[in-house]
Amino acid sequence: MAAIFLYPKIDKVIGSPNPYIFNFQKALAKNHHVVNAKSPNRGILSFFTHFFKADLFILNWPETIPEKKFGSVQKKLFMLFLKLAKAYSKKVVWILHNKGSHHKGENPVTKNMFDVLMAHSDYIITHSYAGKDFVSSAYPNYISKVHVIPHPLTEKLGEYRKGEKKFDFLIWGSIFPYKGIDVFLDYLRETPELKNTKVLIVGKCSDTKYKSKILSILPENAEFKDELLSLEEIAAYSVQAKFTLFTYKSQTVISSGSLIDSIRMGAIILGPDHGAFRDMKDLAFMHTFKNFNEIPKIISEFNPSDEQIEGDRNTFMNQNTWANFVEKIGNITGI
């Protein structure tokens, strides 16, 4: 049993957030002691209040620390933590979720955090070979630290059902510019082959400017519900859609929690040919495109009676449970 500090600590669920940390903590706690599991969230200060209790620190999204309140101060404290971790032989695992900042793009602050984390992490776990390729290209000196483990999944929320569908495409999740929904809507308006398709977009958009842009270009065959829904409510829409579409244009994306939940919902997925989407492109429930122009051909050739769809889904889910994820981290780190 290892003593593990898991970052970030989230105290409660509000609405429908990414449940990654909750699932991670639950899986770790089965065979290890998560030292900050029952402690209140103290942000960067928790690294120090739990420092001597933990042998292994598992960090998720630490590169975003400078973007938080009092970010410059938090960054300095984080740098101090990394120096102390090295001095006291504490092991640091960085879960590399993204290749940069989705929202801020390339910027020197995030680049500096990546530089620091590459150098000071003992192990780097990433959920897609795109993450490994990124390190190999941008930080080749640290490639030996990198290990690829697919994003783990919890239980199924549904299975694919062939038959008549109310919608051709479901796009769901929080609405941000990096997801490229506006680009797809422009394509939809200009493409005769898709003029009769029905599109449902479900997700909360807190960016009023971007929301106005989406509404201004929303074609008649597309519906936008600016709502924060539970996964069960989204799964009900998924059953009514032929495909769940991911329009991501950002190359910072390595994996996606929404992708993982869509697999759980029994969706047939259309996504960009990079990151975890590319890793899964040989599975019957996954179809990828290099650009939107490939979508009409993909949907015209889709066979809803393909028995391999649920076979591939079941195999993938059985191989990539949270228990297996923690076991693989244990094999890598020796905990």
Spell out the domains of the chain, with CATH numbers in brackets: 3-152+320-333 (3.40.50.2000), 167-318 (3.40.50.2000)
The pLDDT of 119-125, averaged and rounded, is 98
Question: Cα–Cα distance between 62 and 114 in angstroms, integer?
Answer: 9
At 250 the pLDDT is 65
pLDDT tens, position by position, 146-179: 999 999 999 999 999 888 999 999 999 999 998 9
Q: Is the pLDDT confidence value at 135 over 90?
A: yes
Prediction pTM value:
0.91
The pLDDT of 41-51, averaged and rounded, is 94
Contacts of 70 (CB under 8 A, 6+ apart): none
Q: Could you identify the residue written with the tokens 């999740």?
A: 173
- Banded model confidence at residue 16, pLDDT cuts 50, 70, 90: very low
* Amino acid sitting at position 203: G
| Torsional class of 124: left (φ above 0), alpha (ψ -120 to 50), beta (otherwise) | beta
Q: Is the pLDDT confidence value at 93 over 60?
A: yes
At 9 the pLDDT is 86
Q: Could you identify the residue written with the tokens 């690829």?
A: 148
pLDDT tens, position by position, 212-249: 999 999 999 999 999 999 999 999 999 999 999 999 87
pLDDT tens, position by position, 181-195: 999 999 999 999 999
At 12 the pLDDT is 56
At 14 the pLDDT is 46
Indicate the burial class of 256 (C-beta count within 10 angstroms; 0-12, 13-18, 19 or more): buried
At 15 the pLDDT is 44
Average pLDDT, the chain: 93
pLDDT tens, position by position, 260-288: 999 999 999 999 999 999 999 999 999 99
